Amino acid sequence: MRGIKLIVGVALVVSFGLPGGPGACAAPADTVDALLPQVPGWKLAEAPETYTPDNLFDYIDGNAELYLSYGFKRLVSAMYVPESGNEDEAIVVDVYDQGTPLGAFGLYSSMCRPGLSYAEIGCEAIVSPLQVRFWQNRFEVEINGADESQAALLKEFARAVSAKLPACKEIPELKWLPEEGQMPHTLKYVADGFLGQSFLPGGFEAQYKVDGAVVTAFVTRCSAPDSAQTCLRRYVATLGKFEGAVARQEGQFWEVVHKYVGHVWVSAEGPWFFGARCETESAAARKMAEHLRERLRKIAEATE
């Protein structure tokens, strides 16, 4: 029986006290089951469990779709208890192999909120008294405790896992949205249902302060310029169906205004469909959308 789960994932060797940072001596993915951490004073409560896309629902029924949408490949889970065998003090570490760094970041970013506590573990970690959650390379790791008194121990487990995973890897797509002025911990990658629309490919969004107003910028890359134009037309048409919505075209941009979404400015540039929205200020949303267009043009020029 498992209440909380300590999951140690694919491509990982963990042992407290070993030297090295992220990327040091990473174990091959097919040997990880035999290389779970040896933690002084702790033992495995039972044999580790492995999950695949076919049976992930058995482990996290009700939330498995989220992990699958970000490319989930494999999970290895192991529960640790003190050598005394007291399961009331169990610690569980879950390492999810999401297939790519983008998939791992996307899953992690879906949990991020500006008001949470963060730590420099892996590429970044969300920390609380009962859980440490971090992402690194293609892995998203969740370490859960049984009691708030274990908060420091959870961080030690997390750092030990991080030290044996592949190093953080740059994700070029994260540069599509500007870093300047970006509100911390608001950058997200949404793999499915971007902007609430099933016809859009996965995309990115983040919040900014523009002339005192909070603006959400968003961008996705379509398969071709024609596809981006199609996404633009369909998105404007979809928003325009809301009762009371007003849509107007101004140059290469469309503005849609509605009481539920505020002011939305959208356009297409090459293969990109992009825009910005602001609940109260049309000018702020337009300013951000225009800035984003210039940024995407420069990115295109740099890659030609």
Domain of residue 226, CATH code: 3.40.1000.20
- The answer to whether residues 38 and 149 belong to one domain is yes
Does residue 63 carry a pLDDT above 60? yes
**Listed ranges 72-81, 161-170, 270-279; the one with the highest mean pLDDT:** 270-279
For residue 2, what pLDDT band results from cuts at 50, 70 and 90? low
**Listed ranges 18-22, 83-87, 108-112, 156-160; the one with the highest mean pLDDT:** 108-112
**Looking at residue 1, what is its pLDDT?**
46
**Looking at residue 21, what is its pLDDT?**
38
Mean pLDDT throughout 222-249? 94
- The answer to whether residues 160 and 186 belong to one domain is no
Number of domains in the chain: 2
- The answer to whether residues 109 and 203 belong to one domain is no
- The answer to whether residues 179 and 280 belong to one domain is yes
The values of phi and psi at residue 18, to 5°, are -80, 145
- The answer to whether residues 110 and 228 belong to one domain is no
Please say which residue of 107, 136, 164 terminates a domain. Answer: 164
Question: 130-159 pLDDT, tens per residue?
Answer: 999 999 999 999 999 999 999 999 998 898
Higher pLDDT among residues 130 and 25, named by residue: 130
Does residue 232 carry a pLDDT above 90? yes
For residue 24, what pLDDT band results from cuts at 50, 70 and 90? very low
Please say which residue of 164, 180, 214 terminates a domain. Answer: 164
- The answer to whether residues 160 and 62 belong to one domain is yes
Question: 274-289 pLDDT, tens per residue?
Answer: 999 999 999 999 999 9
Mean pLDDT throughout 264-270? 97
Name every residue whose Cβ is closer than 8 Å to that of residue 84 and which is 6 or more positions away in sequence.
none
CATH code assigned at 74: 3.40.1000
- Domain extent at residue 123: 29-164
Question: 240-263 pLDDT, tens per residue?
Answer: 998 899 999 999 999 999 988 899
Please indicate, yes or no, if residue 4 is contained in any of the structural domains.
no
- The answer to whether residues 56 and 160 belong to one domain is yes
Q: Residue 227 to residues 238, 240, 271, 275, 291: CA-CA distances in angstroms?
A: 16, 20, 7, 16, 22
The values of phi and psi at residue 147, to 5°, are -150, 150
Please indicate, yes or no, if residue 63 is contained in any of the structural domains.
yes
Please say which residue of 132, 164, 196 terminates a domain. Answer: 164
Q: Choose the weakest-confidence range: 3-12, 220-229, 238-247, 294-303.
A: 3-12
Please indicate, yes or no, if residue 22 is contained in any of the structural domains.
no
Please indicate, yes or no, if residue 14 is contained in any of the structural domains.
no
- The answer to whether residues 137 and 212 belong to one domain is no
**Looking at residue 90, what is its pLDDT?**
92
Please indicate, yes or no, if residue 3 is contained in any of the structural domains.
no
Nearest to 184 by CA among 205, 206, 203: 206
- The answer to whether residues 235 and 217 belong to one domain is yes
CA distance 98 to 110: 14
- The answer to whether residues 155 and 231 belong to one domain is no
Percent share of the chain, pLDDT over 90: 69
CA atoms within 13 A on the CB side of 39: 28
- The answer to whether residues 177 and 298 belong to one domain is yes
**Looking at residue 301, what is its pLDDT?**
85
Q: Choose the weakest-confidence range: 119-123, 163-167, 249-253, 292-296.
A: 163-167
Please indicate, yes or no, if residue 13 is contained in any of the structural domains.
no
**Looking at residue 11, what is its pLDDT?**
34
- Residue 283 CA to chain centroid, in angstroms? 30
For residue 28, what pLDDT band results from cuts at 50, 70 and 90? very low
Please indicate, yes or no, if residue 24 is contained in any of the structural domains.
no
Name every residue whose Cβ is closer than 8 Å to that of residue 248 and which is 6 or more positions away in sequence.
254, 255
For residue 304, what pLDDT band results from cuts at 50, 70 and 90? low
Please indicate, yes or no, if residue 23 is contained in any of the structural domains.
no
Does residue 74 carry a pLDDT above 60? yes
Does residue 38 carry a pLDDT above 80? no
Residues 122 and 136: beta-carbon distance below 8 Å:
yes
**Looking at residue 225, what is its pLDDT?**
95
- The answer to whether residues 110 and 235 belong to one domain is no
pTM for this entry = 0.86
